[in-house]
Structure 1
């Protein structure tokens, strides 16, 4: 496993981390015993960074991570998120009182006195233009409730605005073979400011595993079934906002580029890690074997430059017109 610095926090975290959305819910059936086995396998493979949120299973994934900490001696960093419990989910609702209440709840779920990293959970764009929100987070740091904070964003615009606030240590953003825009402006600026970059949806909701087809069916409570057009939350969170059938076509165009004996999922995550501005990728997993496949990305050799150029050509030709300016 490779380890990279997380912003200016002093944490060095695994370049392949563990995304706990899937073990919380909205990805079909999930079993806590199997989820815990996956979490333990991640630690066995050198993963020391786990990303969750207070709304994943209404705290279910946070509580599983608390149990993992009880059962392991290894030091792990847990990043959670706050804000999506708001109803209505408006910029004005991101108040000091609401944020404090969310933090207190996560402290209880995670059975800790201070949260390692709290991220605003894809708030409305206007939140990034409200300095008082970030003042409230600074206050929570001073109070010892949280150690560091960052943001999880939908848009490059939001990422660039967020890192103007000196307390922001990390930005979580969608970045993968199907969504390449963050590398153009945001990554160089994040690197200049020493802000950690957490690449979420590295497998584009599973599309980039190469295991899906037009015949694949998803459970009724799986967001890949009900959120393709953004019915529940931002469309970009499901298959990176790419039309499912177009995504399948692009995967088939990418498949010949994958080295023999290497899984497409691991290979596409290795492509992400070619960016030195990226701290880690955050693939989800519900089973130990998925963890093994994800972790293998850190062991792969660099992607050749000619292959990098071919991937960019495919993106420019097939995907750029559909996604590049939307997020």
Structure 2
């Protein structure tokens, strides 16, 4: 495994982290026994950067991780997130009318206590605001998060899907170590001003869904998705957008085949190539896929290959939106 620093710190994190959401949430039936095997295998592979959130399965994912953390806490740099709440106790996906976002200082302090208890830990290494609450000044949210650092409950702070202005205002209150945002071959909205600002503040970019929720992998088939799989609701997986993306996928597969790697390895290598301050967190609940992904850190892309990928992306621009309209309103606040 290759390791990179978290932001302007001396923390050494695996360049490829592990997104744990799908183990408990959003992508059809779950299997805790298999997911725990994946978590142990991640440690064997040197993947020490694990990412969860309190809303993944309404706490179920944090409870799942706790089963491994109780014996391996010192081996894991642990990130979790707060902010999404459910109108009822039934956990649904984050673009559902059953959820709302709460970035109020009072809820920050309530949420961290619940996460610490579920995870079975004394401190969270990296604590993110899962979004920026448009009804609450970011200074108030981050001020409450900074209190948690002073209290020793949290070590570093992060934001997820924040705008350039919010990143600046947040850093004026307390140093922000990471911005988590969707970033992949199909989702490149952070490029330009936001990524430049992240670098101005010496933060890390933590791309989630770097495999476009599985779309840019050899094994992904839309028709095979479970009926309750969240991806079926997204514009990117429907109609003309899906047609566009499947054509792009075919071309990427050909490029990967020429290089004798998988498409997932090509896609992850492309994200990793965007800078040493980039720490993608692909998710999986399958050991074979975990091992496949981990080998992406060994892939070297030439400038010619990078240029070929750029040309393919320009040829198939109609990738579709990554969330529905309601969920997009909480992005880049």
Task: Give the TM-score, by structure 2 length.
Answer: 0.85
Distance in structure 2 (CA, Å) of the matches to 1:246 and 1:86 = 34
Mean Cα displacement is larger for which, 290-299 or 69-78?
Answer: 69-78
3-state SS of paired residue (2:190): helix
Match for residue 94 of structure 1?
103
Distance in structure 1 (CA, Å) of the matches to 2:9 and 2:104 = 25
CA separation of 1:239/1:102 partners in 2, compared to 1, >3 Å: closer, same or farther? Answer: farther
Distance in structure 1 (CA, Å) of the matches to 2:155 and 2:86 = 23
3-state SS of paired residue (2:47): coil
3-state SS of paired residue (2:58): coil
Match for residue 274 of structure 2?
275
Distance in structure 1 (CA, Å) of the matches to 2:317 and 2:17 = 27
Match for residue 293 of structure 2?
294
Match for residue 227 of structure 2?
220
Distance in structure 2 (CA, Å) of the matches to 1:165 and 1:219 = 44
3-state SS of paired residue (1:58): coil
3-state SS of paired residue (1:85): strand
* Structure 1 position 36, deviation (Å): 0.3
Distance in structure 2 (CA, Å) of the matches to 1:156 and 1:319 = 24
State whether residues 9 and 148 of structure 1, in contact with CA within 8 Å, keep that contact through their aligned partners in structure 2: no
Distance in structure 2 (CA, Å) of the matches to 1:156 and 1:188 = 9
State whether residues 6 and 279 of structure 1, in contact with CA within 8 Å, keep that contact through their aligned partners in structure 2: no
State whether residues 200 and 283 of structure 1, in contact with CA within 8 Å, keep that contact through their aligned partners in structure 2: yes
Unaligned runs of 5+ in 2: 88-98, 323-327
CA separation of 1:305/1:49 partners in 2, compared to 1, >3 Å: closer, same or farther? Answer: same
* Structure 1 position 112, deviation (Å): 1.2
State whether residues 13 and 279 of structure 1, in contact with CA within 8 Å, keep that contact through their aligned partners in structure 2: no
* Structure 1 position 219, deviation (Å): 1.3
* Structure 1 position 165, deviation (Å): 4.9
Mean Cα displacement is larger for which, 133-142 or 37-46?
Answer: 133-142
Distance in structure 2 (CA, Å) of the matches to 1:115 and 1:94 = 18
Aligned pair count reads 312
CA separation of 1:163/1:222 partners in 2, compared to 1, >3 Å: closer, same or farther? Answer: farther
Alignment of 1:97-176 (within 5 A): 97-125=106-134, 127=136, 129-153=137-161, 162=170, 165-176=173-184
3-state SS of paired residue (1:64): helix
Distance in structure 2 (CA, Å) of the matches to 1:284 and 1:125 = 28
CA separation of 1:136/1:72 partners in 2, compared to 1, >3 Å: closer, same or farther? Answer: closer
* Structure 1 position 303, deviation (Å): 0.8
Alignment of 1:165-204 (within 5 A): 165-204=173-212
Match for residue 233 of structure 1?
none
* Structure 1 position 162, deviation (Å): 4.9
* Structure 1 position 205, deviation (Å): 0.8
**1:314 pairs with 308, 312, 315, which one?**
312
State whether residues 6 and 170 of structure 1, in contact with CA within 8 Å, keep that contact through their aligned partners in structure 2: yes
RMSD over aligned CA atoms reads 2.7
* Structure 1 position 277, deviation (Å): 4.9
Task: Give the TM-score, by structure 1 length.
Answer: 0.86
- Return structure 1 stretches of 4+ with deviation > 3 angstroms: 71-74, 123-127, 154-166, 320-324
CA separation of 1:320/1:248 partners in 2, compared to 1, >3 Å: closer, same or farther? Answer: closer
Match for residue 25 of structure 2?
25
Distance in structure 2 (CA, Å) of the matches to 1:161 and 1:276 = 24
3-state SS of paired residue (1:182): coil
3-state SS of paired residue (1:270): helix
CA separation of 1:274/1:161 partners in 2, compared to 1, >3 Å: closer, same or farther? Answer: farther
CA separation of 1:36/1:160 partners in 2, compared to 1, >3 Å: closer, same or farther? Answer: same
Match for residue 235 of structure 1?
none
